[in-house]
């Protein structure tokens, strides 16, 4: 057999094989009496999405508690976020040792705090970075619109204490609901 005929013969066999595989694969697809395997994911609204960001919905002062994940002693942080146009301020308070008061957390030198923010439809993400002594810190706030009076916040605090040429990172994560003031 010449090379041309062998090539044509091979292509014919390949075509027949592929046709058979395709027709058999149609038999394994679910029909009305079969169900396909599934995984559960949070539902996503099927309504028509808004065309614009809700930047104006986030303006104002928001206050609430962030509950720290995996905290053995129900640790929480009081958060006060103020959003005024392109300016975002974030104040934090920790519960006093006796549990009777909120003590503000104030940076020693706020000249090293750098804020970054981004709005996308119903979400606001911002983070700030700070340094001092041997440590550097980043706090990330992911905020989602619930209603005109409430937003949900997911928070991450990531710190690294550098000792010589070794880093000693640690982190906290939490979430909560903030109410408009």
CATH number for the domain harbouring residue 125: 2.40.128
35 domain-assigned: no
Query: In which element (H, E) is residue 120 found?
Result: strand 114-120
Q: 8-28 burial, b for 16+ CB within 10 Å, e for fewer?
A: eeeeeeeeeeeeeeeeeeeee
CB hemisphere CA count around 47 (13 angstroms): 4
95 domain-assigned: yes
**Would you say 65 and 78 are in contact if contact means Cβ atoms under 8 Å apart?**
yes
DSSP 75: -
Q: Could you state, in chain order, the average pLDDT of each consecutive group of 10 residues for the chain (181 residues)?
A: 51 44 39 40 50 79 90 80 83 79 70 76 88 86 94 94 88 94 94
DSSP 52: S
45 domain-assigned: no
Domain that holds residue 74: 55-180
CA 147 to chain centre: 19
The model's pTM is: 0.66
Write down the pLDDT at residue 107: 61
141 domain-assigned: yes
Write down the pLDDT at residue 3: 55
Write down the pLDDT at residue 109: 57
DSSP 47: S
Write down the pLDDT at residue 50: 56
62 domain-assigned: yes
**Distance between CA atoms of 176 and 63, rounded to whole angstroms?**
10
**Distance between CA atoms of 170 and 157, rounded to whole angstroms?**
8
What distances in angstroms separate CA 119 from CA 5, 31, 180, one per listed residue? Answer: 64, 44, 18
| Closest by Cα among 110, 112, 56, 64 to 84 | 56
Write down the pLDDT at residue 181: 94
68 domain-assigned: yes
**Distance between CA atoms of 98 and 90, rounded to whole angstroms?**
25
């Amino acid at each position: 057999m010449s090379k041309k005929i062998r090539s044509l013969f091979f292509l014919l066999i390949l075509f027949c094989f592929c046709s058979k595989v395709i027709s058999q694969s149609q038999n394994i697809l679910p029909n009305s009496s079969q169900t396909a395997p599934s995984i559960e994911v949070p539902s996503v609204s099927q309504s028509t999405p808004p065309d614009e960001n809700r930047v104006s919905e986030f303006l104002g002062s928001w206050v609430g508690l962030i509950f720290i994940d995996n905290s053995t002693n129900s640790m929480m942080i009081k958060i006060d976020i103020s959003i005024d146009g392109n300016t975002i301020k974030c104040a934090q308070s920790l519960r006093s040792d006796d549990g009777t008061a909120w003590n503000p957390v104030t940076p020693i030198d706020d000249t090293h705090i750098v804020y970054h923010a981004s709005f996308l439809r119903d979400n606001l993400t911002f983070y700030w970075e700070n340094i001092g002594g041997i440590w550097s810190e980043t706090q990330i706030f992911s905020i989602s619109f619930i209603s005109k009076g409430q937003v949900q916040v997911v928070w991450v605090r990531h710190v690294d204490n550098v000792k010589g040429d070794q880093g000693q990172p640690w982190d906290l994560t939490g979430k909560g609901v903030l109410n408009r003031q």
